[in-house]
Amino acid sequence: MATPQQPLPATTLPATPPKALKLDTIQGDILSGLPKKTETLYFFQIKDVAKFRKDLRNLIPHIKTASQVIEDRKAIDDYKRGHHGCEGHRPALIPMVGVNIAFSHLGFKKLGIDDAKLNDSAFFAGQRVDAGQNLLDKGAGEGANFSPDWEEPFKKDIHGVIILAGDSHATVEAKLHKIKEIFGVGLGGAKDSIVEVTTVRGDARPGDQSAHEHFGYLDGISNPAIVGFDKNVPPGPAPIDAGHVLLGETGDALPRDPWMVDGSFLVFRYLFQKVPEFDDFVDRNALQLPGLTRKEGADLLGARLVGRWKSGAPLDLTPFMDDPELGPDPSKNNNFHFKAEATFQKMCPFAAHVRKTLPRDDLERLPGFSLAKNRIMRRGIQFGPEVTKAERSAKKTFHGRGLLFLAYQASIVNGFQFIQKSWVNNTGFPFGTPEVPGVDPILGQGPGRDIGITGYDPNDPKAVLKLDAEWVIPRGGEYFFSPSIKGLSDAIAASA
């Protein structure tokens, strides 16, 4: 899910100019994605409320807005084209770092800020509780006492997260050092207004895998295009109103307090991936079709679990053979709808990850039905080392690796929580299909996983594939709200 430093699409004006978005106040990660090869997430608790509010005022000038990210991306584009001369002496990437900040419900509570009009039950409950009630993470206890099988720091109260994305560890670490100074961290005595709960770091994978997640599939392809922001949108799912990502914008009908406008909910999930085990599964269950080698049969099965080939090419467009040119081509690789096979899974299984998480015409073929409110803006990055030889030969994971999953939306209940609970974990979704689909094999959790999935074999849609292992293991997370700069200045930081 890495969005490495990529050029922005060329621009043309939309037919009806929509309400202008205030790009100078929207935090940069939401609409554009902070450019990144590496990202550090610094999770904190607020210790001294009055001092924190003052310190926050000093952080604000460091926060990157959407308009600054657009500038940064233009600079990256120019740099890549070599407009700056000095070839041979310049670093591969422009040194650059982007900072954003977001708060949990516990954070707002600690600050004494009334966040009732954020109006999101998942946000108010927090992810630790939601993990038991709705997401079906493994763990012990029930309700408010649920204790997921997560890493210890994520079971603690987390008040906020500072996101630092950049070109290199050195640039990001220098900025983190500066930010710690702002909040007095490490200065001793009563000088610190926050304490660190934990820090996690993600890195784009090396070489030609840099935009691929750890199982090897190209990621970060399909994110919603926003009316009034994205221009010259390539064919694919219809652009959505900004209010499905940003509070208070067109499409968000709920009453909000002024400080909430142009903010967005941020979901973080700390997802570990068992790569050798996944590879072993697709190898053991390789599809045996005429003319396919075992390796090709394994690749086809993997593609059927994800809904795209490793190149990014969608099964709905090329069901039986990868198309390495189509895969990374943004003008073509999202142009599919499952239209021809709304009740049919020869081309792409109903349970495939991309079909479960955005069912396109499986639902949108119904008159007047729109999936806009369920769309999320994914901004993740990989963490952990590449698979070692020892792991590959043991078919077992010895080193932690996976995805720092981050996603923005105007409602966690309609966005991330709905996708995981009502689609991914739901064996019967999409509804009204001739075969019971089963859970999303990549992400599905809970008892439904034991049933297995149908549709893995293109020639026998009823055949069931048992999922004898889990390859994505949640080990932490929290729900946050990422306010606008105006919201931060007017309501959260101390007045100037």
By beta-carbon proximity to ligand HEM, the closer residue of 221 and 351 is 221
Pick the binder of ligand HEM from 38, 104, 273, 411 (CB under 6 A): 273
Quick one: 226 or 419, whose CB is closer to ligand HEM? 419
| Cβ atoms of residues 26 and 262 within 8 Å | yes
Where does this chain touch ligand HEM (CB under 6 A) — which range of 65-73, 90-98, 209-217, 426-434? Answer: 209-217
Residue showing the smallest CB distance to ligand HEM in the complex: 222
Residue among 33, 202, 220, 248 that touches ligand HEM (CB under 6 A) = 220
> Is residue 222 part of the contact set for ligand HEM (CB under 6 A)?
yes
Question: CA of 10: how far to CAs of 7, 215, 313, 492, in Å?
Answer: 9, 31, 22, 37
Give the C-alpha separation, 449 to 466, whole Å: 8
- For residue 309, CA distances in Å to 194, 208, 312, 428 come to 44, 15, 5, 25
Dist. CA 93–CA 468, nearest whole Å: 43
**Residue 383 Ramachandran class (φ > 0 left, ψ -120 to 50 alpha, else beta):** beta
Q: Give the residue with the Cβ less far from ligand HEM, 369 or 496.
A: 369
Site for ligand HEM in 125-184 (CB under 6 A): none
The two three-digit tokens of residue 18, written as one number: 């929509």
Which CB sits closer to ligand HEM, 420 or 427? 420
Q: In whole angstroms, how close is the CB of 291 to ligand HEM at the nearest point?
A: 26
Output the 3-class SS for 250-318. CCCCCCCCHHHCCCEEEEEEEEEECHHHHHHHHHHCCCCCCCCCHHHHHHHHHHHHHCECCCCCECCCC
Judge whether 219 counts as a catalytic residue: yes
- Which residues have a Cβ under 8 Å from the Cβ of 87 and sit 6 or more positions away? none
Q: How far is the CB of 2 from ligand HEM (least distance, A)?
A: 11
Q: Which of 72, 192, 219, 457 is catalytic?
A: 219
> Among the candidate windows 95-103, 210-218, 338-346, 460-468, which touches ligand HEM by CB under 6 A?
210-218
Which residue is it, tokens 């993997």? Answer: 302
Nearer of residues 44 and 309 to ligand HEM, judged by Cβ: 309
Residue span binding ligand HEM (CB under 6 A) among the ranges 25-33, 40-48, 343-351, 416-424: 416-424
Q: How far is the CB of 417 from ligand HEM (least distance, A)?
A: 8
Q: Tokens representing 447? A: 């008892």
Nearer to ligand HEM, 205 or 269 (CB): 269
Strand partners, 406: 268
* Contact flag: residue 313 with ligand HEM (CB under 6 A): no
Site for ligand HEM, residues 350 to 369, rule: CB under 6 A = 353-354, 357-358
Stretch 63-92 residues interacting with ligand HEM (CB under 6 A) = none
List residues bridging with 270 in a β-sheet. 404
**213 contacts ligand HEM (rule: CB under 6 A):** yes
Task: Determine the interface stretch with ligand HEM among 51-59, 316-324, 402-410, 445-453 (rule: CB under 6 A).
Answer: 402-410
Stretch that binds ligand HEM, among 94-102, 149-157, 220-228, 316-324 (CB under 6 A): 220-228
Beta strand pairing status for 139-140 and 453-454?
A: unpaired
Q: Rounded CA gap, 75 and 331, in Å?
A: 23
Binding to ligand HEM by CB under 6 A, coded x per residue (else -) over 314-353, reads: ---------------------------------------x
**Residues catalogued as catalytic:** 219
- Applying CB under 6 A, the residues found at the interface with ligand HEM are 213, 215, 217, 219-222, 269, 271, 273, 306, 308, 353-354, 357-358, 376, 402-403, 405, 416, 419-420, 424, 442-443, 472
